[in-house]
Structure 1
Amino acid sequence: MSVVYVVCFVILLAAALLALSRIERGPSMFDRIIGLDVMTAVLIGTVTVIAAVTKRSDLVPVLVALSIVGFIGSTAIARFAAAESAEEGRILTKEELAMILAERQAQDDDAPAVHDDESGPVIVSVDDEAEDRGEGR
């Protein structure tokens, strides 16, 4: 029977490693959410196998609590992630960020200068001590 437990732990370890790689790589927020859900399921599975190995029934409330936390956590994260577009949730590479910044800079350079002819009064704050020392102007 101990071979079954070892196989279960190996499968759970493999699932945890794959989930960690999905959380780390991404590329989108939804991939990371799925990775966290899988990690929660792996944790629940691990506690279940430990409860079976040690024949402890007092771990059942822990399993229920982990299940509730996993459900509420994934629901809350999914709700926040659904509010942003797929492009906003994606982490950019250095090359993509440099390209976007270069495009914005090119747009700013090409835009005509805007001058406001109807500017209101200009309010200037003068430091009295600096003016007394001759530093005001």
Structure 2
Amino acid sequence: MTLAWIAIGVLLGAASLLAVVRLMRGPTILDRALSVDVLLASAIAGIGAYAAFHREPTALPALLVLSLLGFLGSVSVSRFVARRQVAQTTEESGKGERG
């Protein structure tokens, strides 16, 4: 059981570290949003592993809230990027017609 905890900790730590690197270096907002999703998924996996090993069902509401926040965050970022791209396309097509 201790070996499993060490493996889980190392893998989730590596995933979190790589996500933080992508968060810092990511040139676009989509790279940063993806890295935040990976961080959130790592947290959910860690809490889920804790709940499974200790047979503690009280962590389930926290998992539900975190997954809902991750979903809403991803949807809101994707809608923001889609609107931004539509606005840029409209602006570029307007400039081409005037010139």
Q: Same fold by TM-score, threshold 0.5 exceeded?
A: yes
2:2 pairs with 1:2: yes
Q: Which segments of 5 or more consecutive residues in structure 2 lack a partner in the other structure?
A: 89-99
The alpha-carbon deviation at position 47 of structure 1 amounts to 0.7
**2:26 counterpart residue number:** 26
Query: Which has the larger helix fraction?
Result: 2
Kindly report which structure 2 residues correspond to 1:18-97, keeping only aligned pairs within 5 A, or say none.
18-85=18-85
Q: Which segments of 5 or more consecutive residues in structure 1 lack a partner in the other structure?
A: 89-137
The alpha-carbon deviation at position 7 of structure 1 amounts to 0.3
Q: Distance in 2 between matches of 1:34 and 1:60?
A: 24
Structure 1 vs Structure 2 CA RMSD: 1.5
Question: Which protein shows a greater Rg?
Answer: 1
Q: Normalised by the size of structure 1, how large is the TM-score? A: 0.58
Contact kept? 1:12, 1:46, Cα under 8 Å: yes
* Count of matched residue pairs: 86
Percentage of identical aligned residues: 36
Q: Give the aligned residue type for 1:30.
A: L
The alpha-carbon deviation at position 52 of structure 1 amounts to 2.3
The alpha-carbon deviation at position 6 of structure 1 amounts to 1.2
Q: Normalised by the size of structure 2, how large is the TM-score? A: 0.79
